Copies of this chain bind each other. A is one copy, B any other.
Amino acid sequence: MSQKNGEDLTRERILDTAEVLFAQKGYRAVSVREITSAAECNLAAVNYHFGNKENLYLEVFRSRWVPRATRVRESFRKSLARQGSLSEAKVVRALAQAFVDGPLSDDERLRHSQLMTREMTQPTKAFKHVAEQVIQPFFKEVSDQLDSVLSNKVGEEQMLLNIFSIFAMVLYFNFARVAVSRLTGRKYDSAFRALLVEQITQFSLRGLGVEKMEEQG
């Protein structure tokens, strides 16, 4: 039997520790021995459960990264659903909040954007999966939401570039924590995260050409 009480503990422990280590150090810098040692299991467990190291990496994206991205996306959706009538400000703030101050813990958020940044700078086999299953649909959703509330309509390409611009900030303020903390002299506590959400929201709203601001949601 693959699992009796509904969970394969060793397999799950390997996935958890592997994700942390891959996010921190990158694929090549993490050895199978380091993973199995941290996961407190035998060296051969990785090859037994996942075939090889590369498959483990891909499985981390399938069973950890993608579900987490889905949580962020649903946080964004519910944030919008909570509002009665939508506006540019509400959509943008919901977006910034979902990524910078959303459902993820601080560690999760860091891991998440580290893995994503890694795949963006040097895509592996995981990228195609992530792009098609997560990024592209999400961008489409944000694009549609913004398009439905935006006062000054823009073309499809312009809309995409605008979303890129917003997304660039969201990603940057997550993965470049070290640099941001160093240069601002501020820790990444909840107060600073709230400030970053405000920064992304206001900067993006003006960037989108929204004239009148609304009060914070």
Contact = CB atoms under 8 A, between A and B. Distances in A.
Interface of A: 24-29, 114, 117-118, 120-123, 127, 131, 135-136, 139, 157, 160-162, 164-165, 167-169, 171-173, 175-176, 178-180, 182-184, 195-196, 199-200, 203-204, 206-209
Given A117-B117, A183-B135, A199-B165, A24 B122 contact: yes
Contacts of A175: 117, 120-121
A104 to B, nearest CB: 17
Contacts of A168: 168-169, 171-173, 176
A25 B121 CA distance: 9
A183 B136 contact: yes
A183 B199 contact: no
Contacts of A136: 183
A209 B204 CA distance: 11
A26 B29 CA distance: 9
Contact of A167 (B118, B123, B172): B172
Given A183-B136, A200-B165, A207-B204, A120 B178 contact: yes
Contacts of A199: 161-162, 164-165
Nearest to A113: B121
A168 B27 CA distance: 25
